[in-house]
Structure 1
């Protein structure tokens, strides 16, 4: 399906991270030459260890906050998949300055480097946090509210810069607003771990996971394979009308946090029956959290021919299988 990428060189920033390493793997399987840029602030060498010996894989250890490094990484590159960022709403609330430096200044460096090296297309990780306090459901790309966190501000600024670089320098871009991505290689450790892998490791250790709030908040949880598909569609589309805009990258369905936790417990208990007895706790609501998240994916279907391969439950079942195999000794 993506054979046009076989003789192309693709730069994946944040390529040692959760989403980035899955993109590197998919591109290598297609036959692309892959350049991975990562400073290992949140990514891990183990995620890309199987690729390091491949002739069509190159690792550049560096920081997107350094323009010279970005210029080096973009040299001879056809497409950029920009995933490098400091994620997490709580992290940005605790340290807005660093989030701004990485997510805005680093993003601008990458745009400049892509422009200077005549990159054909710049596809970047945007965020559903951009919808902010907008209460409309489902979320439609053209209707956003005020951002609720420094992180959300940084991701919205990315969209503004991308639009401006098309208008000013004719650099084609596509932004992908990710909705609660989960799946293989997502780090369960650390203060800012995403909810699904964090709950996985707690259930496996017979510890009660704590849901922020009463559990009725809902999310459009999106399996990693759907996200990979969207990135590949974005760099290969030949539809000019599909360029220089943003797309929701999701399933188009929502699950409450309580339902997610219960499904997770049920799937994990198939591997260890004791997990079925682990209770689920509740705590206070978290600052910056939006109550409900549900994406309209009609625009992506129409312009990019997007068709999600995994529902939430199908993705969760695959993810649990991977977690069980890889996190036993975590």
Structure 2
């Protein structure tokens, strides 16, 4: 990979990061991709054959020297490294703050030392919290309900401050319930889509926290990767946060119905209590996103679920049964 744009991706061995790396490696304008990941929530296995094509730096975003090596000569930095999950942050708020808020500060300082590449960073719709208005506009006052949400609000604020104080080009993106291939289940903080697919494929009922009427703006990971890749290649920046979702609204009960259609049979539901910090309804106002990225294409929910179910089924297939013995 000689010539072309140089991109550093923190959290590049995670769910969203590994998908993004695949997108970047396929883009003709991108010449080199460096990945920073401590593999605490991600895994090099998610990168597959892409691992051989990237400069991989194993370690934490709290390691300034590691960041300097990864960002050397970078034209853009995509900061995805984080400790995800609202419930995880409720259980351990200090760890969430260190990884998400202090980690962002370290990334921004490294970007300054690297000469000021574009910094695209992941925030979260959780910053809206108790804000009752729908759809959620970036002009609404954030009302975070969890330490995770607070740490993501800090991420946005730091990006805006570094743009104001140091002229750093930045783009804070508020992710809304991203799902897709490579998003794993099998751990206490698994997101709803992989957790439900895993349970349904096992013949177990899926767990519904609350009454199932709560709604989400579910966004396929390919839509996210399309936006970030375009931001890098077209040098799209904004000191103000941008919702990265297209304004859809799906209740958990409706999600169960579509998932049942994809799986070919009804999904059994097991209801339990609501979780602290959870938001009842989430739907993006996509106006600012569409102003910056007018060509963005949303992957329809069913299409995204079909791709995701196919990936989960593939993971359950023994390697010896796959074509050529490997993925």
TM band (smaller chain): over 0.9
Q: State the 1:48 CA deviation.
A: 1.4
Q: State the 1:28 CA deviation.
A: 0.5
1:1-330 → structure 2 map (5 Å cutoff): 7-31=4-28, 32=30, 33-54=32-53, 57-238=54-235, 242-269=237-264, 276=265, 278-328=267-317
Q: State the 1:317 CA deviation.
A: 2.0
Tell me the alpha carbon deviations over residues 19-68 of structure 1, each in whole angstroms, 9 at most, x when there is no partner: 000110000011421001000000011111312323xx110001011122
Q: Secondary structure at the match of 2:134?
A: coil
- In structure 2, relative to structure 1, the CA distance for the partners of 1:74 and 1:316 (3 Å cut) is same
| Structure 1: runs of 5 or more not aligned | 270-275
Query: Aligned equivalents of 1:100 and 1:9: distance in 2?
Result: 29
8 Å contact kept, 1:74–1:119:
no
8 Å contact kept, 2:257–2:267:
no
Query: Aligned equivalents of 1:6 and 1:128: distance in 2?
Result: 36
8 Å contact kept, 1:267–1:317:
yes
Query: Aligned equivalents of 2:5 and 2:94: distance in 1?
Result: 36
Q: Secondary structure at the match of 1:53?
A: helix
Deviating beyond 4 angstroms after TM superposition, the runs of 4 or more aligned structure 1 residues are none
Tell me the alpha carbon deviations over residues 224-264 of structure 1, each in whole angstroms, 9 at most, x when there is no partner: 1110011112223356xx52221111131110011112211
8 Å contact kept, 1:251–1:311:
no
Query: Aligned equivalents of 1:237 and 1:142: distance in 2?
Result: 25
Provide the TM-score with structure 2 as the length reference.
0.93
- In structure 2, relative to structure 1, the CA distance for the partners of 1:6 and 1:321 (3 Å cut) is farther
Q: State the 1:120 CA deviation.
A: 2.3
The count of corresponding residues between Structure 1 and Structure 2 is 316
- In structure 2, relative to structure 1, the CA distance for the partners of 1:51 and 1:137 (3 Å cut) is same
The answer to which of 30-39 and 12-21 deviates more is 30-39
Tell me the alpha carbon deviations over residues 275-315 of structure 1, each in whole angstroms, 9 at most, x when there is no partner: x2552111111111111000011111112224223122221
Q: State the 1:105 CA deviation.
A: 0.9
Query: Aligned equivalents of 2:267 and 2:171: distance in 1?
Result: 43
Query: Aligned equivalents of 1:66 and 1:238: distance in 2?
Result: 27
Q: State the 1:328 CA deviation.
A: 4.4
- In structure 2, relative to structure 1, the CA distance for the partners of 1:6 and 1:214 (3 Å cut) is farther
| Structure 2: runs of 5 or more not aligned | 320-327
Q: Secondary structure at the match of 1:11?
A: strand
Tell me the alpha carbon deviations over residues 150-205 of structure 1, each in whole angstroms, 9 at most, x when there is no partner: 00000001111111101111111001100000001001121101110011110111
Q: State the 1:325 CA deviation.
A: 2.0
- In structure 2, relative to structure 1, the CA distance for the partners of 1:166 and 1:221 (3 Å cut) is same
1:272 is matched with none
Q: Secondary structure at the match of 1:52?
A: helix
Query: Aligned equivalents of 1:144 and 1:180: distance in 2?
Result: 20
